[in-house]
Amino acid sequence: MDTWQPPQTAPPSEGPLLDTFGRVADDLRISVTDRCNFRCVFCMPAEGLKWLPKDEILTFEELTRLLGIFVSLGVRSIKVTGGEPTVRADLPTLVSMFREAGPELDMSMTTNGILLDRLAEPLALAGLDRVTVSCHSLMPHRFEGMTRRDALDKVFAGLRAAEEAGLTPIKINCVVIGGENQDEVVDFAAWARRFGYVVRFIEYMPLDADHAWERAKVVPSRQIVDAIGRVFPLVSEGPDHEPAASYRFADGAPGGIGVIASVTEPFCETCNRLRLTAEGQVRSCLFALEELDLREPLRSGATDGELASIIRTAVWRKWSGHRINHPDFVQPERSMSMIGG
């Protein structure tokens, strides 16, 4: 059994954030809260989770200082996420602080969209470039079943506001679950064409807090591409820097589709991601079983150099890839909303 062994060597003390497999981490997901106003069935239980106490969450100043260090280490793009990032009070102020720390950063946000109708404009003015809005059904009743919130109209209003604020191109994240919404993939593609969205279909991953994930509910991305391609012929855009394999419509219609095949076609070999949780743990993989703490050293006077060295170590210790498809797979203790997807 080829279980992961941490490297015995030390990371390089300069240059890009490298791991022992030669991958460079330059894309950071920053979770700004573990809280959420939805209860998606594939993520969180109906009663929610035990939220972190406020004093355990990094402050705006702490998050911004860490971001500055990540940028000095070569991070070029960030995704603000959560939990639901828009429930963090005064988010536009944080985004403007991030923009100051990284004027050249590509900065986007993943959100459930419910508060975007009032936040899109202030976020765009604060320096956010784009949004990805999660939407798992275009049918109000089914949307409510999957998110446990009757909120599809609010999400549509949020999407309109994002468009008006110029937070474009808009991406849509749609988690596809067998027996729930897989019959909607062609409707999503038609919707993408109508509004110019890039809809990314995500395979259901074993990161739900309820541990209800079953392999039988994973809809292979290949099937999704084939089903859409039969109705709207697709042209592959080839590999890009995203985990999604992207396709445009052969007839030149606006928008496009992408598939994130984390389970059936893992893309670990080219992964350039790194994650910071809301309470300051750095994780080198969604499925990592270890994380390194930045908050305690940050709060007890560590220098930027010392914090950078912890980040370098976390990346250096990144494993070759997740083990979802191995018999020894262990689901991480943190579920998706506590990591920052």
- State the binding partner of 146 from ligand SAM, ligand SF4, none, CB within 5 to 8 A by kind: none
Instruction: Give the residue carrying structure tokens 């499925």.
Output: 287
Q: Which of 114, 146, 205, 307 binds ligand SAM (CB under 6 A)?
A: 205
Q: Provide, rounded to whole angstroms, the least separation between the CB of residue 114 and ligand SF4.
A: 8
Asked whether position 43 contacts ligand SF4 by CB under 6 A, the answer is: yes
Nearer to ligand SAM, 42 or 70 (CB): 42
Task: Check binding of 192 to ligand SF4 (CB under 6 A).
Answer: no
- Tokens 């062609």 locate to 186
Judged by CB under 6 A, the number of residues near ligand SF4 is: 13
Tell whether residue 43 is a contact of ligand SAM (CB under 6 A).
yes
Element (H, E) at 228: helix 221-231
The set of residues, in sequence order, having a beta carbon less than 8 Å from that of 201 and lying 6+ positions away, is 174, 176, 185, 188, 221, 224, 257, 258, 259, 260
**Part in contact with ligand SAM (CB under 6 A); list of ranges 77-85, 215-223, 290-298, 314-322:** 77-85
Our finding on whether 198 is near ligand SAM (CB under 6 A) is no
How far is Cα 244 from Cα 242, in angstroms, rounded to an integer? 5
Backbone CA torsion sign across 327, 333, 335, 337: negative
What stretches of 213-290 adopt beta strand conformation (E)?
234-236, 245-249, 256-260, 273-276, 281-283
277 touches ligand SAM (CB under 6 A): no
Query: Does 218 contact ligand SAM by CB under 6 A?
Result: no
Task: Compute the least distance from the CB of residue 178 to ligand SF4, in Å.
Answer: 18
Nearer to ligand SAM, 40 or 307 (CB): 40
Which residue in 298, 318, 337, 339 binds ligand SF4 (CB under 6 A)?
Answer: 337
> Does residue number 33 form part of the binding site for ligand SF4 (CB under 6 A)?
no
User: Which of residues 207 and 224 has its CB atom nearest to ligand SAM in the complex?
Assistant: 207
Sign of CA dihedral 151, 155, 158, 160: negative
Cα 199–chain centre separation: 14
Q: Please report, as residue ranges, which positions from 84 to 123 form the binding site for ligand SF4 (by CB under 6 A).
A: 84, 112
Indicate left, alpha or beta for 339 from its phi (over 0: left) and psi (-120 to 50: alpha): alpha
Instruction: Give the span between the Cα atoms of 77 and 95, in whole angstroms.
Output: 13
Q: Which of 32, 38, 88, 315 binds ligand SF4 (CB under 6 A)?
A: 38
How far apart CA 231 and CA 224 sit, in angstroms, is 11
Q: How far is CA 29 from CA 63, 154, 280, in A?
A: 12, 25, 12
Q: Which does 256 bind (CB under 5 to 8 A by kind): ligand SAM, ligand SF4, none?
A: none
> Residue 143, interface with ligand SAM (CB under 6 A)?
no
Check residue 147 for interaction with ligand SAM (CB under 6 A): no
95's tokens: 């985004």
Q: Is 117 in the site for ligand SAM (CB under 6 A)?
A: no
Copy the structure tokens of residue 181: 């919404």
Which x/- pattern, by CB under 6 A, does the window 152-171 give for ligand SF4? --------------------
Phi–psi pair at 153, nearest 5 degrees: -60, -40
Residues that bind ligand SAM (CB under 6 A): 36, 42-43, 81-82, 84, 110-112, 134, 173, 175, 202, 204-205, 207-208, 336-337, 341
Residues that bind ligand SF4 (CB under 6 A): 36, 38-40, 43-44, 82-84, 112, 134, 336-337
